[in-house]
Amino acid sequence: MRELVTWRVHAGQVPDPVLRELALQALRKRGNMLGAALFAVLAPRGRRSEVVRALVAFQSAYNYLDTLAEQPSADPVGNGRRLHSALLLALEPGAGRRDYYAGYPRCDDGGC
């Protein structure tokens, strides 16, 4: 799937080597992204490619954040909530950025 290739390129450009490996690991959950993309059949034919792009992007972000949240943390619940709040703000055009990594020891994801 073309969208997975795009996200692998982004993941490969993450400056922090640990975050890069976690991002690539999250993309190995292909079934989640293929399942999300399947919902594009419900969209009008002319919009399906952009719906696939959006669904795969959102699922890729979810997989990455979920992978990060599974890593050891002093406050696993708070860390998971903070990380996953990025998904909610991603759906709000013009929403400000927050420090999603405040409870996580690494943060240099290159803004991917």
Domain ranges of the chain: 2-90
Q: Indicate the range of 48-52, 82-86, 96-100 predicted with least confidence.
A: 96-100
Q: Is 35 helix (H, G, I), strand (E, B) or coil?
A: helix
Residues making up the chain, counted from first to last? 112
Mean pLDDT of the chain: 89
Give residue 57's pLDDT band: very low, low, confident or very high (50, 70, 90).
very high
**Residue 64: alpha-carbon gap to chain centroid:** 5
Average pLDDT over residues 50-78: 92
Q: Is the pLDDT of residue 30 over 60?
A: yes
- Both tokens of 62, joined, read 């979810």
User: Positive or negative, the Cα torsion across 8, 12, 16, 17?
Assistant: positive
Q: Is the pLDDT of residue 112 over 60?
A: no
Distances (CA, A) of 58 to 32, 75, 88: 11, 25, 10
pLDDT at 14: 94
Neighbours of 94 (CB within 10 A): 5
